[in-house]
Amino acid sequence: MFLQGFLQERAQVTYLANLLTILSLFCGFASVILSLEGHFTFSALVIILSVIFDGLDGQVARKSKSSSDFGKELDSLVDVVSFGIAPALLGYIFIYDNFHFSAAVALFIYLLCAVIRLAKYNTTPQEAGHNYFTGLPITVSGGMLASFVLIYRKAMFLKFIPVLFISLVLLLASLMVSAARFPNLDGLRQFLGKRLKVTMLSLFLILSLALYLDKAGLALFLIFLTYLIFSPFVVKRLDSI
């Protein structure tokens, strides 16, 4: 009876993780539709929501030790849609009024690097206890592009924004296929230790204030940028623990 109950509970957790993955896919699909309809702010926000669902499904599967090959492949395919295609389409339609060859090439390179990064992740044996990713997580890349659009929404007068967007796209693409290491959620939790609750509360307060001041895009972009900049320091510190 105990074994049967354990297996049933584990199956329910697996279904929950897969449900969260499907919700992430729904957000990615909704972002594409919203971009095509011209609702760019909502399109960017549902990509951010997809980032949250993606983080939750990984944590549920990891904590319950219910991860499976099916779940891993499903998660990667969803990531291509939600953090590869959706933010690329959003940025292209919103920022460029007409066909822009350089932007199209840059975004294809971004999408190609995202697919390569996920393929490498799925075919590389993951050692137990690893607290970092090799290559920038595609969720961070997608979140940065979405939050960039939210910032640009408030700064239409800046003529150099399209060039900055292409530069950001190419930077993120190169980081995704690089050998650079970036901490995962377990690594960040280990690094923060007793400061985790204070950090989470601080982020909540910052985002709440940003929403009140209508600066959510800037706050989100700075959070992703902080992760990007300080990741080498965090990984180095984790290696010494």
Q: List the CATH number of the domain containing 55.
A: 1.20.120.1760
Please name every residue paired with 183 in a beta bridge, in sequence order, or none if there are none: 132
pLDDT tens per residue across span 65-124: 666 777 788 888 999 999 999 999 999 998 887 888 999 999 999 999 999 999 988 887
Query: Residue 190: which pLDDT band, with cuts at 50, 70 and 90?
Result: confident
Nearest to 224 by CA among 164, 151, 141, 155: 141
Look at residue 224 and tell me if it is in a domain: no
Does a structural domain hold residue 26? yes
Chain-centre distance for alpha carbon 228: 12
CA-wise closest residue to 33 among 86, 99, 88 = 86
* Domain-located, residue 18: yes
What is the number of domains present in the chain? 1
Give residue 69's domain range: 2-127+138-180
Q: How many CB atoms lie within 10 A of CB 53?
A: 22
Residue 218 lies in a domain: no
Can you say whether residue 35 is alpha, beta or left, with left for phi > 0 and alpha for psi between -120 and 50 degrees?
alpha
Mean pLDDT of the chain: 85
| Amino acid (1-letter code) at residue 235 | V
pLDDT of residue 192: 81
Average pLDDT on 230-240 reads 86
Looking at residue 13, its pLDDT comes to 61
Q: How far apart are alpha carbons 114 and 91 in whole angstroms?
A: 16
The DSSP secondary-structure symbol of 178 reads S
Give 133's strand partners: 182
Q: Is the pTM of this model over 0.75?
A: yes
Query: Does a structural domain hold residue 219?
Result: no
Residue 90 forms part of a structural domain:
yes
Please answer whether residues 21 and 75 qualify as being in contact, where contact means their C-beta atoms are separated by less than 8 angstroms: yes
DSSP string covering 77-146, please? HHHIIIIIIHHHHHHHHHH-SS--HHHHHHHHHHHHHHHHHHHHHHHSPPPTT--EEES--HHHHHHHHH
Q: Where are the beta strands (DSSP E) in the chain?
A: 132-134, 181-183
Pairing relation of β-strands 181-183 and 132-134?
antiparallel
Check residue 28 and report its DSSP letter. Answer: H
